[in-house]
Chains A and B, each alone.
Chain A
Amino acid sequence: MTPAEETATPRELKLMSRSTYVKEAALKNLFLLCATMAVAGVVLIFLFVGWRGWPVFSEVGLARFLGGAEWLPTAGAFGILPLLVGSLVVTLGALALGAPLAIGAAVFLSEIAPPRVRSFVRPAVELLAGVPSVVYGFFGLLVIRPLVADVTGGLGFGPLTAWLILAIMIVPTIATLTEDALGSVPEGIREASYAMGATTWQTIWRVLLPAAKIGIIDAVILGMGRAIGETMAVLMVVGNAPVFFRGIGKPISTLTSQIVMDMPYASGVHRTALFGLAIILFLISMGLVALVRALSRFREETR
């Protein structure tokens, strides 16, 4: 270590060894292989689900499948329009209820809650995400549905119950992502706004929410993805009548719940139609992802 000792180890610049080079390259390719597993997954899903679903497109025909107004497999009617509408109704309603609640909760968490309150509200939000969807369905079935029945009359199966349950289910998704978006708004900006004589509300409304806007839109879209794809909870409360939306207390059915309902006994074209539903769900969620990515690219560009 001392200068005197250094003389003992003559220094020369070493040359690169070939084995190091080969090892590094091999490792890199292994990692690349693993990384492509995600791509493989998507391709496999598309291929296998698509393969099973293909007959419905060829035998029933795309128009009758997508455009048919009646889902009556035993009668050979495979129109998924009521199911599409059902999914849409359930999703949009859940978003309308859940997104404001989630964004409000996120704002509350990141801007308003005193630390002690935050320290139990935030875990609560995260734990909401952890509750299995069957438990939500269970809860919805036994607790929410009777309440809804009291309000709407009828049996309580239908969009309203599904909305309430789904709204709760998407709160954590939207709230955590919104909180992230708000959290990535630099602290200084808040201080600056307060220091200019803005109230908390003015700061939130005029600075923070606009600043986090795209992040929040992302969050809502992802929440939408979650709502569209949700199966078990919806199945348990929505009533499962494959008909068009007729009212918030009247049963309808969705793409996801219909698959689970029919899968146990479906055979033949009926079975392929269910795979067809799955592929449509797959395409929808992929579209939403593409939308989010386009948005974040937009955000980067406008930075």
Chain B
Amino acid sequence: MKRDAKNLTNAAALAVFWLAGLTTVVVLGAVIGYVLVNGVGEIGLEFIFTNPHGVNAEGGIWPTIVATLYVTGLAMLIVTPVAVLAAVYLAEYAVQGRLVRTIRFAADTLASVPSIVMGLFGLALFVESMGFGFSVISGALALSFLMLPIVMRTTEEAIRAVPKYIRWGSYGLGASKWQTVSRVVLPAAASRIITGIILSAGRAVGETAVVIFTMGTMINLPVLPTDPGRSMTVHLYQLAMEGINMPAAFGTALLLMAMVLAFNLSARWLLRRNRRMQG
């Protein structure tokens, strides 16, 4: 009798958990499906490679794609060396102390700064004070602050995941610290570091509030880093809020999601391949 009650509770609880798990899938499916169904008809070579035109922003979204990739790539270029070296410091050189605690706290804080705050910060510092104006470079700099803690953390984790025995092995063979770090530790952590960078780039691609205030909203094909541009997210936001060209909005949303998915999937693939190679 009691045992039956126990089994019943168990079964009910398990059902609830199944529901929770499947809900997430359903939601994701709904979001993707909705965007896909409504947007797939829109996407074509023309949509991707032509400029928007006409009263209702007909045509393609090419400048926004370029601006998005431009600003993201530039941000990656800026952030990668700094973040990786910072992580090397934290993981390999730092001794636990106030300095390290401060750095970690700052990194955590930076990671949790709302993107709108980062946007206003970029506006105040890069756009206005430094006079870069609404431009790709302002956007990239602001985004790089957004990405910095993410890349730093994943890189540090990647470095720390390299077993200490491996370091000892290197020291034991008569390697100096830098030799050990550069020849053994970083290569060992490389694929996880790259994964981290890609993931953070995916986040940058999907970012709106930062770029809207740093790169501007103008539809323009940026060439120089000082050119303004409109990212895909901003474009989507404007199309959605204007409600003037919903098919284009769906198309943009779909492309945007495809891009973010591509970043995510390639990161996962890298990680899995790496796991297989080392496993």
Contact = CB atoms under 8 A, between A and B. Distances in A.
A103 B28 CA distance: 17
Interface string B7-35: 10110011011111111110111110011
B106 A38 contact: yes
Contact residue range for chain B? 35 or more
B20 A41 contact: no
Interface stretch (B52-60, B189-197, B218-226, B259-267): B259-267
A-B CB proximity, top 5 nearest: A229-B114, A104-B20, A132-B206, A108-B21, A31-B89
A45 interface: yes
A4 interface: no
A278 B88 CA distance: 32
A35 B20 contact: no
Contact of B114 (A134, A142, A228): A228
B109 A48 contact: no
A238 to B, nearest CB: 13
Contacts of A130: 202-203, 206, 260-261, 263-264
Contacts of B203: 130
Interface residues of A, number: 90
Nearest to B250: A138
B121 A285 contact: no
B208 A136 contact: no
Nearest to B38: A142
Nearest to B260: A130
Given A222-B112, A231-B114, A256-B116, A104 B90 contact: no
A135 B148 contact: no
29 contacts: A37-B148, A39-B103, A42-B109, A44-B125, A45-B118, A101-B20, A101-B24, A105-B20, A109-B21, A127-B28, A127-B261, A130-B261, A135-B236, A135-B253, A138-B253, A139-B34, A199-B10, A201-B13, A201-B14, A231-B208, A260-B212, A263-B213, A279-B117, A281-B116, A281-B117, A285-B109, A289-B109, A289-B112, A293-B105
